[in-house]
Amino acid sequence: MFHKEGHKIIIIATTIVVAGILLIDTLVTLPWLKMLLEITFLIFFVLILQFFRNPKRNTVVNDNQVLSPVDGKVVVIEEVEETEYFNEKRIQVSVFMSPINVHVTRFPIGGKVLYSKYHPGKYLVAWHPKSSTENERTTVVVENTSYGKVLFRQIAGALAKRIVNYAKVNNTVSQGSDKGFIKFGSRVDLFLPLDTTIKVKLNEKVRGGESIIAENE
C-alpha cells in the first residue's frame, strides 16, 4: 500500500523506467552495459516505491499516552524552552527519519487541533540543532482532556522539499491517524509537559502509531 502523496511520483517514475528500459533495449548493444543500465533503472524504481510505502499500523488508542508520530530513531530527549506556542519549558523528544524509513506522519494523540501553522525556511541537515527553528516546518498542537496539550513539529531535512500537513484548527483527530507526509526528509519534534514520563531512550528505534513515547501515570 502506498501513500496518496506518492501516487503522482510513482506514475511518473513508472513512465520513466519503462521508457528508459525500452530505449536501452533499442539503443544499447553491449549485453553487460544493457544489464547494468536496466538494473540501475529498476533500483531507482524500487527506492521510489519503498519511500512512499504506507504500512498498516496497529494503534492501541490510549488518551494517557503519546505515540511516536513517525518511524525512526530517537535523537533528542531534553528540557527546552518552547517559544512558538507555549512560551514555557517543555520536554523535547525528537525522532530522526532516514531515507529508508516510512515517512508517513501520524497524530501522536487524539483530540482537538488547537494550532496548525506552516513555516517556510532552510534545508539544514535534520540533526542540526537549529533545524527545529530555521528549517521548513509545520507546527501542530493537539489537546485531549486526559493528557493535555502536545506540540509536534514536522521538520524538512537537506533532501526534503515538501511537507504535507492535513491538520486543521478545530478538527477532532484520532490517535495514530494520518497527519501528513514529509517528502524526502527528516525529523519530528515533540514538546511534552515536564511532568510526563518518558518511555523511550536515546538511539531507540520507534514505529509511528505504535511505539509509546510518553505517558501520564
Annotated active-site residue in 68, 131, 132, 186: 186
- Told to judge if 186 belongs to the known catalytic residues of this protein, a careful annotator would answer yes
Helices (H), 102-188: 131-134
Q: What H or E segment, with its residue span, contains residue 74?
A: strand 72-82
For CA atoms 198, 208, 187, 90, the dihedral sign is negative
**Cα–Cα distances in angstroms (integers) from residue 217 to residues 92, 109, 151, 199, in the given order:** 19, 16, 20, 11
Q: HSE on the CB side for 151, CA within 13 Å?
A: 25
Active site residues: 186
